[in-house]
Structure 1
């Protein structure tokens, strides 16, 4: 039977994109199914060295060696994850690169897998020759390929971490076309970190290979003993934080909302059940399109429904810092903070209580609750209505402030919620459920429960009726 050189599963036509950590696991499933069905053909997984730090990759490699049939695992080793690699595993990979694959420190052979090393992985002729040689191999084999991250584009070679993902830039120079100016929420976070450190709060900063998202190397340079990058291993980042909290430290796990689902069991089992005071900063909570694997709309439903975990949504830099301080000095359990996705807003902070809604303007008939980065939208809607609507900053999106919600029933007939997150399982559903057996009507605005792909962000906001004009129209229709 004639078979192609390889049937790569890194991005098969009938599957959506998978994280690199999952590909070895998927490959073992496809190879075992091929064997049971009596079919032929090559199954190949392509995984990056940075992804080897995740448990999923090691689980797949562990099972791969038991298959005793064709399975090719290409490990693309460029010495980098998103940022530089961290952990003892990478000393072994380094020795393999330095010895042209001859080092005895070989994790792949130790797991029972055949092994082959290719030094010049950026050379097309070398790779094609190698693929032809291992085509139709009758047992699992790891093809360890040394490449250069950013190869062929000098700015990406010189700035590997920055060019892992990049906003639009000038191709000739590599310079960002629209650089961010002024204060950012990252600056606000670092200001509070230094305040806490100076005050003697025993904080640590933990990240899972995304230091650039929060500019954490800024903290790491000042306080290297208190900074931990665990590589692409969100599970480890949460349970490492749990262990530190158990021993009296005040760890802060800096996470991306689109990757944090990998640590759901740790969030629930290690933090929620044990009520450990870990602070979790969550970035990327926004409605966007372009890649179904990078969606920032599911964190709110996930985190706000874990028992014992408090999820806070600040609307200003003052609230963000107050919530960080609260989280680092309370002992009730884990606290996650959803970093606003919009530009920095500032407003005086009076009578702060993380669990009490902040009524910014008391009106009547209509109450508009704007979660986090959508509070400015709530204020804009209020200005366009022909009624004096109430505007509220909910703050805590995991536990309802029932007193404030009950008070609204006195002179309001409609409560509107705005959230930059999936409506399914989100904050708006909690509000609607609370008022379910009363005369109060509710309107919930947010994202549909789906993986967005090709739409633009502007198209999604319009589809979800998150423009001021659309919201005003819906409110008037429901009064």
Structure 2
């Protein structure tokens, strides 16, 4: 059915429409829950079709979300979603359905869980694999405060591939605090298909009678000699292993239940009720098998299960394609590296669960044996690349700027201190738009420029990026980082055979006399636009492209400082980055002694929430009007 404007009419959601509180949800008879789940799924599809966002992961947890809120007393019971983009059905059920049309938009809902947004979001999660650590902290705090509530962590969509999750599980298994972990296994990587026998065994193993019997048998076994007690314990473990496959989690100290069909509410609800009623002091892991993209045919058919989508037509699943001036920076990087690898067998590439997002899926298609996706494991990715470099290869590690933060110790200890030539490709550096504060690549300049041996570059356009990839390939004397933003550049043609740049050399792109604007990266276009505005006002501005945040071009700095009254640096990064490096160099080389006026423009000391990238740049004062304003202020005009 379509409306007059040609779009598909929203599906009716009568059960969901009748629920305005958790009390009303929990008052529903269990036989109504599948209909509620169908309504939630329809509401989610309708909302995301108009806004874009994460779709597949949320579709996979609709029934699980309904069951958790039905069984547990949220928000008093703490429910933590990991990874955060699974939370759309959770938001719909917790009073935010009417705001879903503004998700991931300015002044709208976050695309992730967010503490300040709702009491139903006890812990924010934009990055993955944090839930068990946070949940254990909450459980221990509950015990110390002598409170009585459940803490439930839902971890899935690849988040179990991170070492932090296993560190937390290991700690939780020995902490003797009640904690419930729901393992959302949505790619069948852990469990075989589940069915009626598995559901029966899961209900049995989660029941109070089983816990009571198990405890009693342990007490009886303890009366026998230690050899018999150990044999009895092993026999019980092996019996459970044969029917559940939970050996790993049992060895870590968890009571393992599952696998459970995550789309059968008649399986989920009884198990969760048993888990809640058991009140065991031992942590519990419930293994739930779900299907990413469940219930929406286009998502089920897609290779990525519609993980992240633009606006789309509900009936056909066809996504709207944004108009582009040319290739994205990501595509330029991938093409440059793929072509270079055709003649350089030493080039290899690694990423942490983001082959498509970083462009390395294209590299993998051409060079499958030289591309490594290590899972959500940034620490491992960095040190893995260090090992490759130590053996003479030329590794490129492509990780979003905000995710490389998770591997900072490895960048320091395993790469920089050993001066190994690992090439870091920092995609999504700077503002990222709708993903919001958790994904802003604001800090990489600050945390990389302080490291010895590190070379840090930022291209102003597509051609410069290709040259910087060639530079990184040729630079075997230490680690290199290239940062670039999300999306497309200004449309500069990419050379067929890009030549390496001289390390630490910038360029002047516009000559002036009154003030100098020293830009790093893609702020160059707005710097040139600001110079045009200033020229109309009678202010002559030189515009330079630093190219390198480290090492700085000291000859260029001396030139700019020596013949201008003011110098303004511009970067799409936090304080402590490029501007700080320039100020340090100016001060230590005596270039401020003659009265040069300096202003450093960077992302203000604040968290920027979801908006368009253009809106975020404007709010930060890093657009052309903001740059022109800073020049006027420096000159006292």
Structures share fold, TM-score greater than 0.5: yes
2:618 to 448, 462, 467: 462
Cα pair distance change 1:125/1:275, threshold 3 Å:
same
- Bigger drift between 239-248 and 190-199 goes to 190-199
2:296 maps to which residue?
A: 153
User: Superposition pairs for residues 23-422 of structure 1, below 5 Å?
Assistant: 23-48=131-156, 50-79=158-187, 90=189, 93-95=190-192, 100=198, 102=243, 104=245, 106-136=247-277, 137-138=279-280, 139-161=282-304, 163-179=306-322, 181=324, 182-290=326-434, 291-341=436-486, 342-346=488-492, 352-386=501-535, 387-422=539-574
Distance apart, 1:219 and its partner CA: 1.8
**Does the CA-based 8 Å contact 2:257-2:284 persist in structure 1?**
yes
- Identify unmatched segments of 5+ residues in structure 1: 81-89
- Identify unmatched segments of 5+ residues in structure 2: 1-70, 82-112, 199-240
Measure the CA separation in 1 of the matches of 2:633 and 2:175. Answer: 62
Cα pair distance change 1:170/1:49, threshold 3 Å:
closer
Distance apart, 1:97 and its partner CA: 5.6
Would you say how many aligned residue pairs link Structure 1 and Structure 2? 466
**Does the CA-based 8 Å contact 2:249-2:255 persist in structure 1?**
yes
Measure the CA separation in 2 of the matches of 1:215 and 1:430. Answer: 30
Cα pair distance change 1:103/1:203, threshold 3 Å:
farther
For 1:226-275, what per-residue CA distance to the aligned partner results, in whole angstroms no more than 9, with x for missing partners? 11001111111111100001011111111111211110111111111011
**Does the CA-based 8 Å contact 2:244-2:259 persist in structure 1?**
no
Tell me the SS of whatever aligns to 1:228: strand
C-alpha RMSD over aligned residues: 2.6
Distance apart, 1:16 and its partner CA: 3.0
Cα pair distance change 1:187/1:41, threshold 3 Å:
closer
2:80 maps to which residue?
A: 9
For normalisation by structure 2, the TM-score amounts to 0.68
Higher strand share: 1
Tell me the SS of whatever aligns to 1:293: helix
Measure the CA separation in 2 of the matches of 1:242 and 1:476. Answer: 46
For normalisation by structure 1, the TM-score amounts to 0.90
**Does the CA-based 8 Å contact 1:314-1:372 persist in structure 2?**
yes
**Does the CA-based 8 Å contact 2:363-2:371 persist in structure 1?**
yes
- Bigger drift between 137-146 and 401-410 goes to 401-410
2:85 maps to which residue?
A: none
Cα pair distance change 1:49/1:168, threshold 3 Å:
closer
Measure the CA separation in 1 of the matches of 2:504 and 2:269. Answer: 60
Cα pair distance change 1:57/1:428, threshold 3 Å:
same
1:451 maps to which residue?
A: 607
Distance apart, 1:162 and its partner CA: 6.1
For 1:100-145, what per-residue CA distance to the aligned partner results, in whole angstroms no more than 9, with x for missing partners? 4825473212322111114321234433332211104312110000
Measure the CA separation in 1 of the matches of 2:485 and 2:543. Answer: 18
Distance apart, 1:41 and its partner CA: 1.7
Cα pair distance change 1:350/1:106, threshold 3 Å:
closer
Tell me which structure has the larger Cα radius of gyration. 2
Distance apart, 1:350 and its partner CA: 8.7
For 1:197-220, what per-residue CA distance to the aligned partner results, in whole angstroms no more than 9, with x for missing partners? 222241111111111113322221
Cα pair distance change 1:242/1:134, threshold 3 Å:
same
Distance apart, 1:148 and its partner CA: 0.8
- Bigger drift between 178-187 and 189-198 goes to 178-187
Cα pair distance change 1:444/1:162, threshold 3 Å:
farther
Measure the CA separation in 1 of the matches of 2:634 and 2:354. Answer: 44
Distance apart, 1:54 and its partner CA: 0.6
Higher helix share: 2
2:586 to 424, 431, 435: 435
Cα pair distance change 1:310/1:123, threshold 3 Å:
same
**Does the CA-based 8 Å contact 2:432-2:441 persist in structure 1?**
yes
Measure the CA separation in 2 of the matches of 1:400 and 1:145. Answer: 53
Tell me the SS of whatever aligns to 1:385: helix
Measure the CA separation in 1 of the matches of 2:569 and 2:310. Answer: 31
